[in-house]
Structure 1
Amino acid sequence: MRFYAISDEILTPATKLPNMLELAIEGGCKIFQFRNKSAKDSDISTLCLELNDICKKNKVDFILNDRVELAIKLNINGIHIGKDDENISFEVLRKNFSGIIGISCYGDINRALRYQNLGANYVAFGSIFQSKTKQNAKVVNIDILNQAKEMINIPICAIGGINTRNIAKFQNTKLDSNDMIAMINSIWIGDIKSNLKELQNKLAES
């Protein structure tokens, strides 16, 4: 399963994020999502391009959270959208954006199937465990991942509260090397490369 790192406005401040991203990539992350809900597009455009270039150089997928118009304008590698971000129809988005599109599906397989049929590139399910980032997020049973694997043909991303204490549970699911495990706190707090090594070891233990 591929490790998917997501930035955080507090844990990964803009001035340090490029260097932190480099460390995460060295540690084994294959996908990176830049998530910033508060800044204006004009304030993060340059940073977006820098992060996108770092990912491109290292053959890592770069995903921009939410900002559809900015992603199209900057020709960003990919975008991720949730229910609160759907300010443009998916059909219009797919027509105007040729990159990767990821969709948050929470615990809703029908939503995942709908977007798969519309042309999404991956779907995310969660929160799989209690999340520190989104404390009010509804926790969904990890079995949703097995149900999704039986019905969905595009890659699946598990997200929410994943850490060294529970990551081994994914070995009991049907997720495979095409699928993803997304994390925030477990990657960025402390030594980034050591965190990722420990997560990889814990995942492999079972």
Structure 2
Amino acid sequence: MGDADHLEDFGREERPPCQLYLISPPAFDPQAHAAALGEALSGGEVAAYQLRLKGVDDAAVLTAAAVLLPICRQADVAFILNDRADLAKAAGADGLHLGQTDGSLADARRLLGAEAQIGVTCHDSRHLAMEAGEGGANYVAFGAFFPTSTKTVEHMAEPEILRWWTALSPIPCVAIGGITAENCAPLVRAGADFLAVSAAVWAAADGPAAAVRRFAEAMRTA
């Protein structure tokens, strides 16, 4: 995986500063999105990118991955695939993000190997986070922290769960759900290792590079 194992780097005693974890738009043209992704990654502030495509066939996912993964590799950014361990392996992804209904962490680890970066959605649940950590997850994801139009929100989380987790475990935590440069400071202060963002970057009126810079500044000054 080269140097694109930023997610693993956070499993150390001293946590580095918070970084961005970009999530793809829910639907897009791969070639058009490739240009936006290149812009977003140009400043070096992004640690990981997750390809999250719902309701499309496997071939569409692999086509998008073939276009976007080289851009992440060039920028030294971890390329994570959502949901499907088999597609993550076929695409040559750096890792996989599993929701609670996306299959077994143990099965995914067996398929993808010890070097794969595997994260698990834990909603607002301490129990799920403990299970994921004990099961060998490389990171846990909490949220949603704010309302979001990217997906239907069934679980809302409070910053306190980030404080609890970072005091308990060296495994990185990702905050997700409606996060913007304007509202992210409490999550950074609570200990989030990564902020997972989508619309706040891709839908920014002044473009993804400017949006990423705003996040970088907000994280530095939180």
Task: Please state if 1:182 is matched with 2:196.
Answer: yes
Distance in structure 1 (CA, Å) of the matches to 2:167 and 2:87: 35
1:143-154 equivalent positions in 2, closer than 5 A: 143-154=160-171
Task: Tell me which moved more, 154-163 or 92-101.
Answer: 92-101
Shift of 1:197: 1.2
Deviation readout 1:135-160 (Å, 9 max, x if unpaired): 43321111110011122221110011
Amino acid at match of 1:40: D
Retained in 1: the 8 A contact 2:85–2:111? no
Retained in 2: the 8 A contact 1:168–1:204? no
Shift of 1:60: 0.3
Task: Tell me which moved more, 133-142 or 72-81.
Answer: 133-142
Retained in 1: the 8 A contact 2:30–2:67? no
Distance in structure 2 (CA, Å) of the matches to 1:37 and 1:73: 17
Deviation readout 1:62-93 (Å, 9 max, x if unpaired): 0011122111223321110101322xx32222
Which residue, 169, 173, 179 being the options, matches 2:190?
A: 173
User: Which residue pairs with 1:97 in the alignment?
Assistant: 112
Paired residue total: 200
Task: Please state if 1:164 is matched with 2:181.
Answer: yes
Gaps of 5+ in 2: 1-17
1:15 partner SS: helix
1:33 partner SS: strand
Q: Which TM-score applies when normalising by structure 1?
A: 0.90
User: Which residue pairs with 2:40 in the alignment?
Assistant: 24
Q: List, as ranges, runs of 4+ consecutive aligned residues in structure 1 with deviation greater than 6 Å.
A: none
Task: Please state if 1:63 is matched with 2:80.
Answer: yes
Amino acid at match of 1:194: A
1:30 partner SS: strand
Distance in structure 1 (CA, Å) of the matches to 2:108 and 2:91: 15
Distance in structure 2 (CA, Å) of the matches to 1:131 and 1:85: 21
User: Which residue pairs with 1:111 in the alignment?
Assistant: 128
User: Which residue pairs with 2:209 in the alignment?
Assistant: 193
Which residue, 10, 13, 18 being the options, matches 2:29?
A: 13
Retained in 1: the 8 A contact 2:50–2:82? yes
Amino acid at match of 1:181: L
Shift of 1:116: 1.5
Deviation readout 1:11-56 (Å, 9 max, x if unpaired): x432311111111111322210010011111123132123222211
Amino acid at match of 1:104: T
Q: Which TM-score applies when normalising by structure 2?
A: 0.84
Gaps of 5+ in 1: none
